[in-house]
Amino acid sequence: MEAAFVFGTVGNLSGRLVVGWSIEDQYAWATGDISVLVLPLPADAEEYVLRFTVHPLIYPGVRDTQRLTVYSGERRLGDYELTRRGSIEVPLPLDLTNGQDAIQLTLNHPDWIKPSDVRPVDDSRPLAICFHAASLARAGDHGTSGHAGGPSPPTNHAIVAGAVTARQVSRIVGTLPSFRKTAVHYFDLDQPVDNFVERESAEAISGARFCWIQADFGRGINHDALRARLPADCEVRVFPTPRFNALWPFQGNDPRAVPEPGRYSPARYPFTDRIAASLAPLNMPDDVLFLMYESMSEKEMPDMEAMVAADIGRLEKAEANCDVKLSPFIRRHFRHKRLFLAPVVPARALVRELVDRLLDSPAVGRLTNNAALGGELDSLLEGYIGRREEVPIHPLIAQRLQLAWWNADLSYRWFNNRRSYKEYIVNYIRWLQWRP
């Protein structure tokens, strides 16, 4: 079986990108002249081929191609000229992989360009090639040539449409080795269908073998327009938008939660806390503010079991017209597994359950070997940390709901920051900047 990797902070490679990278949620840009990464190997005596899904930074008439050379030490493994999004295969000779549990690769990409030098944008990063995903397969296995090749077009198309959850699903599924010959496209349902077709080409819709649509998100006219353009034999499945408010019961109005163009959208802290907001005008030391927050929240703590029941009831109602149901899984497991990072941000276990259920379909069975998908998901999601919006859990909530996965020493990621529960609350009260 192949190993699969996803670049970006929501992937499983962020800790292995050594130097020369600008890491974003869904991908990582190779920057400057040189980038270095370390990939795990099975430590056996097999010969492997590494396959990258990439797209080069191209500005027609200014930069029409991006050159890429891949090295292991002084060993030159492949040369590529990239003009569009696609895949490249890098052979890994047996003498480099035999018995090794990792390999360090150096990527040379001399044609980088700063977007701000070409367009009126505030982006002066020296960007070269965007890396989306990678997979490792035995040389000679189906789908690998055993030698370096240029970008290879897919033979099938699929669409995952919706919001943040749909984007995560599309990234995961599009990286599975079994979908090597299927281009999985993400479509933002807040955008007109014509925008998507223009960006991805008409083949993305006219050749779609399946389409998964996230319910309760986006403009209805876009849902209808998408369905109308799908081929008659395209399998359409609808999945719910998971939301869980019970873990964060103090959401409410905060007049500070507005967009700050160029820095924070939709807001500096989009997941609000009405108790913390009420303390913002007070000029008190941090410790005093935190103690006041704890005292006020304890007094206003609602019936947590009732909130859980209400959340699951709302989801059950929303799932009535969905092909995939998540409420039974959430009901059974939320106390024992971390299912949400924030009210509308599913964690790895819930994303895995959603993907599992979506993959269990006739259309997927016609495109892939269903028996291999579970193992591929296990490999891909090992180390997968999910999105970077992690809102802390109040200790009293964890206690009352008996959250077995929670502990008092948990720290929480907020984009490029990591905060304790107390640090996050104090920063929120003071509405502190978290970008440099």
CA 399 to chain centre: 30
The pLDDT-based confidence of 334 (bands split at 50, 70, 90) is very high
377 belongs to a structural domain: no
Mean per-residue pLDDT for 357-378? Answer: 88
Q: Inform me whether the pLDDT recorded for 374 exceeds 60.
A: yes
Residue 120: what pLDDT?
84
75-127: pLDDT as tens digits? 999 999 999 888 899 999 999 988 898 999 999 999 999 999 998 877 889 99
Asked if the structure places residue 53 within a domain, the reply is yes
Same domain, 58 and 181: no
How many domains does the chain divide into?
A: 3
| Domain end among 307, 337, 367 | 367
Between strands 411-414 and 345-346, the pairing is unpaired
Mean pLDDT, residues 338-343 taken together = 95
183 within domain boundaries: yes
Phi, psi of 359 (to 5 degrees): -70, -20
**23, part of any domain:** yes
pLDDT at 29 over 80: yes
Query: Would you state the pLDDT for residue 267?
Result: 95
State whether 333 and 432 are in the same domain: yes
The answer to whether 315 touches 243, Cβ cutoff 8 Å, is yes
Would the pLDDT of 390 be above 80?
yes
Q: Which pLDDT score is estimated for 139?
A: 78
State yes or no: pLDDT of 305 exceeds 70.
yes
The rounded distance, in Å, linking the Cα atoms of 247 and 228 is 39
* CATH, residue 229: 3.40.50
In this predicted structure, the answer to whether residue 196 has a pLDDT above a threshold of 60 is yes
Q: Inform me whether the pLDDT recorded for 1 exceeds 50.
A: no
CA torsion, ordered 70, 95, 16, 410, to nearest 10 deg = 170
The average pLDDT across 405-417 equals: 89
Residue 206 belongs to a domain: yes
Tell me, what's the pLDDT at 141? 59
- Tell me what pLDDT residue 2 has: 58
Planar angle of CA 355, 361, 366, nearest 5 degrees: 115
Cβ-proximal residues to 370 (8 Å cutoff; 6+ apart), any chain: 359, 360, 364
Based on the domain organization, do 282 and 233 belong to the same domain? no
SS (H, E, C) the chain: CCEEEECCCCCCCHHHEEECEEECCCCEEEECCEEEEEEECCCCCCCEEEEEEEEECCECCCECCEEEEEEECCEEEEEEEECCCEEEEEEECHHHHCCCCEEEEEEECCCCECHHHCCCCCCCCCEEEEEEEEEEEECCCCCCCCCCECCCCCCEEEEEEECHHHHHHHHHHHHCHHHCCEEEEEEECCCCHHHHHHHHCCHHHHCEEEEEEECCCCCHHHHHHHHHHCCCCCEEEEECCCCCCCCCCCCCCCCCCCCECCCECCCCCCCCCHHHHHHCCCCCCHHHHHHHHHHHHHHCCCCHHHHHHHHHHHHHHHHHHCCCCCHHHHHHHCCCCCCEEECCEECHHHHHHHHHHHHCCHHHHHHCCHHHHHHHHHHHHCCCCCCCECCCCCHHHHHHCCCCCCCCCCEEEECCEEEEHHHHHHHHHHCCCCCC
In a domain, 407, yes or no: yes
Say if residue 219 is in the same domain as residue 328: no
Say whether both 81 and 137 belong to one domain: yes
State yes or no: pLDDT of 142 exceeds 50.
no
Same domain, residue pair 307 and 426: yes
* Token pair in block for residue 250: 């103090």
- What pLDDT is stored for residue 4 in this prediction? 78
Shared domain for 32 and 90, answered yes or no, is yes
Q: How confident is the model at residue 148 (pLDDT cuts 50, 70, 90)?
A: very low
Residue 314 lies in a domain: yes
> Sorting pLDDT into bands at 50, 70 and 90, what band is 150?
very low
Instruction: State whether 229 and 265 are in the same domain.
Output: no
Q: What's residue 278's pLDDT?
A: 97
* Chain mean pLDDT for the chain: 89
Share of the chain above pLDDT 70, in %: 94
Q: Where does a domain end: 147, 182, 213?
A: 147
Under the banding of pLDDT at 50, 70 and 90, the label for residue 426 is very high
- Of residues 3 and 399, more confidence is placed in 399
Please confirm whether the linkage preceding 261 is cis (ω < 30° from 0): no
**For residue 341, pLDDT beyond 50:** yes
Co-location of 107 and 203 in the same domain: no
Locate 420 and state its tokens. 């304790």
Among the candidates 147, 162, 191, a domain finishes at: 147
> In the structure, what pLDDT confidence band is assigned to residue 154 with cuts at 50, 70 and 90?
low
CA atoms within 13 A on the CB side of 191: 13
Confidence of residue 268 (pLDDT cuts 50, 70, 90): very high
The boundaries of the domain holding residue 109 are 3-147
Phi-psi region of 136 (alpha: psi -120 to 50; beta: other; left: phi over 0): beta
Residues 328 and 202 in one domain: no
Is pLDDT at 55 greater than 80 in this prediction? Answer: yes
Position 291 pLDDT exceeds 70: yes
Q: Cα–Cα distance between 315 and 309 in angstroms, integer?
A: 10
Q: Is the pLDDT of residue 149 over 60?
A: no
The verdict on 182 and 88 lying in the same domain is no
Q: Mapped to the 3 state alphabet, what secondary structure does 128-152 carry? A: EEEEEEEEEEECCCCCCCCCCECCC
208 and 86 part of one domain: no
Q: Is residue 374 part of a domain?
A: no
CATH number at residue 58: 2.60.120.260
* Mean pLDDT along residues 144-166: 69
Q: How confident is the model at residue 140 (pLDDT cuts 50, 70, 90)?
A: low
